[in-house]
Structure 1
Amino acid sequence: MSWTDERVQQLKDLWAQGLSASEIADTLGDISRNAVIGKAHRLGLSGRPSPIKKKPTRGATILSLTERMCKWPVGDPKHQDFHFCGKTALTGLPYCAEHAAIAYQPSNSKSSKRDEDRSVGAA
């Protein structure tokens, strides 16, 4: 495998898109992951943070939650970016003020009035 101008440009484009060295090697074909890394280094392409070392940027994971943290789930549990709110929880509640306001809603006065009317009519 030789590095033609076309393949070098394709490497640069894929690298800029954030593909891993393995993904780039698969896309280019007939090349190893290490060859991609070596060429990227020789070309002076910018380094990227390792996806393995990536920490959640916000919220809390299930392992980092404490009793004083908001346990409101954020996102889809099937996705990697799923987390919990993590803000300070209100005393005696599992949620922060914002999420407690969503979770604990007062009963609707119209539905309460309707229920009272039904019970009076049934008596």
Structure 2
Amino acid sequence: MNWTDENHAKAKALWAQGFSPKEICDRLSCAIVTFRRRRQAFPGDFPARGGAGSPISDAEMAVAAKAWAAGESCEAIGARLGRSRNAIAALANKNRALFPARGEKRSKGRGSARLAAVGINAAPADVKAPRHDYDFSAMRLADVPAVPFAEAIVSGGCRFPVGDAAAPDGEDMPCCGAVTLRGQAWCAAHYRVVYQPVRAA
């Protein structure tokens, strides 16, 4: 295909949204080598993303949380961000407020012949991840309206959750939204909640 200005603009927009090179090429029906050449020629339009070992950015966190809420696998999310499946799994485990645990599905396999001979059914049962109903509504600051997590990411507001057990998760999770401390993701009040001083035994 001939690479046009229109295709360049579309590719630039898709790249900014976190799409992988393969996904962009599939949408534009072009060879991946063509896209790589355009990236090399216009690095400002296709800025490098964080490598596998670099800290995840706020923008990447928002993309990952949205993809997780849509049901995408760790492998698919990793492909979007240029990171490994294990990196996304670790990210989800550390940020359960944004990446709620999914029910573990196991197939009802046949028990081994040896166990069946003594009357033991070794077929694994369906296992569901436990649900933790935390209520952070009491942590909401007076005169500070809560904002969705995605909005807190964009505005730089405090990301401390302030919803009750029935509040939505993911990008719509209600957060504090107050002005944060410099270099931190929380306001002064919630920073003291997150980081408790170590007490001498």
With the shorter chain as reference, the TM-score category is 0.3 to 0.5
Larger radius of gyration: 1
Give the alignment's TM-score, normalised by structure 1: 0.44
